[in-house]
Amino acid sequence: MKHVFTSGEGDQKLFLEFYDRLKNLNDEGLIEAYHRQMRLGMTGVHAQAVYVLALKKVMKGRFGKDFIPLEGGVIDLG
Residue 4, pLDDT score: 82
What pLDDT does 65 receive? Answer: 93
pTM tops 0.75, yes or no: yes
Distances (CA, A) of 6 to 2, 31, 55, 75: 13, 26, 17, 11
Question: What amino acid is encoded at 13 in this protein?
Answer: K
For residue range 29-76, list pLDDT tens digits in order.
999 999 999 999 999 899 999 999 999 999 999 999 999 988 888 988
pLDDT at 3 over 90: no
Domains of the chain: which residue ranges? 2-76
